[in-house]
Amino acid sequence: MHHLSLKAIANKLTKKEISAVELIQYFLDRINTHDKTLNSFVTVCEEQALQQAHAVDQLRNKKKLPYYAGIPIAQKDIFCTQGIKTSCGSKMLDNFIPPYNATVIEKFNQAGFITIGKTNMDEFAMGSSNESSFYGAVKNPWNITKVPGGSSGGSSAAIAARLAPVATGTDTGGSIRQPAALCNLTGLKPTYGRVSRYGMIAFASSLDQGGPMAKTAEDAAIMLNIMAGHDAKDSTCANNAVPDYTANLENPIKGLKIGLPKEYFSAQLDSNVAKQIEQVIQTYKNAGAEFIEISLPSSELAISAYYIIAPAEASSNLSRYDGVRYGYRCEDPKDLTDMYERSRSEGFGSEVKRRIIVGTYALSAGYYDAYYIKAQKIRRVIRDEFLTALNKVDVILSPTTPNTAFNIGEKVNVPVSMYLSDIYTIAVNLAGLPAISAPAGFINGLPLGFQLIGKHFAESTLLNAVHQYQKLTDWHTQSPEQYA
Ligand code: GLN
């Protein structure tokens, strides 16, 4: 049951081979058995989920339900869920119960999905390892001494251990693709503006984007069909028509032009990673794709520009947590200033504080031009270079991460080394492009991912290319032995 695709589960429900209550109970049991070790959930919605499942079963006898009604989904704890704690991995929001649903949550509810729990994440989505969470590190199901990636590491660990069939993630600089890669999943960061950010707790508003995390491109396409679309509640949400993302999955990819950025395939690339990626290239060649060398000369500046822009936006977004309106408030404040100061110093963890300090500094008078404006100029150059390259090719291929999952604790005290783990993903967010990560095989028993980057709003091309790859390979079908 836990290895099945969304379609296969929906089929069983429709044919009444299993009831929604049985299905939810089945996954709840798996969570109870395994999540003490993995720590992938902040909240398990046992009672609500069973109630909803019961309602689905009752309704199914009376009328036709949406095709996916009754299927469990794990929601990243960054999406506001009405009546269910939404912590964003922070002590600051440990007591926050939103009075409304994020648009993404609303859409999954309408499609009949049942939120089985809220997944652990790096605090305010700042991180690449899930170690900055107030609720503790998440373990990688492939090897519990390793990180599952971040910031959507709870979502990736939950799917990898088959505690939920699918999950949501958000990606500001790689947080869907990197954990997908480190846990052997398929994760898609849509074009900026494709998915509504309403009710998705803001980290860096010009970069944040929600997207699907799943075992396969097909499941991701089904999820994107539900998630994508205009939302009047988010002024940055695009008004482009939403295609059926499953419609082109079966198209042959003969003649697909794939760009290989020469800067990404330099001598610095780990030789084991290079070997696996070479196999991916070979598989695509066998399917008739053409490879063309391209150049993204400014991509080496992406991390530096991102670590000005993202903290600048974060410092502004996080100023709302002041202990007054909602969230954590310190005990016995002396006066107003004391309340602001202590609520924020006690409520935020160290990575969040580091970003607020960097961001505030970069935005301050006298430094604004030197750092923030400069970073924005680099951002524009990076975007233009991608667009020039994407005039020549349909998609760009790269590794998703420079290595497989690293040890828990290995990088916590070396922020720059942590930041470098997003070297292949961050530029994509600066350019607002869509990109997908999919399983590319294993190195010493740990999964590796490859990334395809597409043109703005060309999610269908990415999903089609990965689906075709997944028909020729079986990496994505493998799951960790302990959770078989
Ligand atoms: N790892 C990056 C950061 O720490 C990206 C995080 C994300 O995509 N949310 O900011």
Q: Which of 90, 123, 128 best tests ligand 1's pocket when mutated (most atoms within 8 Å of CB)?
A: 128
Ligand 1 atom 5 nearest Cα:
173
Question: Rounded to the nearest whole angstrom, what is the distance from the C-alpha of residue 172 to the centroid of ligand 1?
Answer: 5
Task: Give me ligand 1 centre to Cα 175, in Å.
Answer: 6
Tokens 């499941």, located at residue: 219
Q: Nearest C-alpha to atom 10 of ligand 1 is from which residue?
A: 126
Residue 353 C-alpha to ligand 1 middle, in angstroms? 15
Could you identify the atom of ligand 1 that is nearest to the CA of residue 126? Answer: 4
Nearest-atom index, ligand 1, CA of 310: 10
pTM (two decimals): 0.98
The catalytic residue positions are 76, 151, 175
Which residues neighbour 465 within 8 Å (Cβ) at sequence distance 6 or greater?
Answer: 253, 256, 284, 289, 395, 452
- Cβ atoms of 29 and 49 within 8 Å: the answer is no
Alpha helices, H only, 297-335: 302-317
Ligand 1 nearest-atom number relative to CA 175: 8
Residues with CB under 6 A from ligand 1: 125-128, 151, 171-175, 203, 310, 422
Minimal-distance CA residue to ligand 1 atom 4 = 127
Domains of the chain: 6-256+392-483 (3.90.1300.10)
- What is the chain's pLDDT, residue by residue, as a tens digit (484 residues)? 999 999 999 999 999 999 999 999 999 999 999 999 999 999 999 999 999 999 999 999 999 999 999 999 999 999 999 999 999 999 999 999 999 999 999 999 999 999 999 999 999 999 999 999 999 999 999 999 999 999 999 999 999 999 999 999 999 999 999 999 999 999 999 999 999 999 999 999 999 999 999 999 999 999 999 999 999 999 999 999 999 999 999 999 999 999 999 999 987 899 999 999 999 999 999 999 999 999 999 999 999 999 999 999 999 999 999 999 999 999 999 999 999 999 999 999 999 999 999 999 999 988 999 999 999 999 999 999 999 999 999 999 999 999 999 999 999 988 888 888 899 999 999 999 999 999 999 999 999 999 999 999 999 999 999 999 999 999 999 999 999 8
Centre of ligand 1 from the C-alpha of residue 129, in Å: 9
Ligand 1 center to residue 421 CA distance, Å? Answer: 10
Sheet with 186-189, side-by-side order of all strands: 41-44, 114-119, 72-76, 167-170, 210-214, 186-189, 435-443, 446-454, 395-399, 257-261, 290-294
Indicate the residue type of 265: F
The residues, ordered by sequence, that sit 6+ positions from 341 with a Cβ below 8 Å of its Cβ are none
Q: Distance from the CA of 127 to the center of ligand 1, in angstroms?
A: 5
Q: How far is the CA of 403 from the centre of ligand 1 (A)?
A: 17
Could you tell me if 280 and 452 are in contact, meaning their C-beta atoms sit under 8 angstroms apart?
A: no
74 strand-pairing partners: 117, 167
Ligand 1 atom closest to Cα of residue 306: 10
Which value, to the nearest 10 degrees, does the dihedral of the CA atoms of residues 175, 176, 180, 185 take?
170
Distances 77 to 40, 89, 97, 98, 105 between C-alpha atoms, Å: 11, 7, 11, 11, 11
CB atoms within 10 A of CB 100: 14
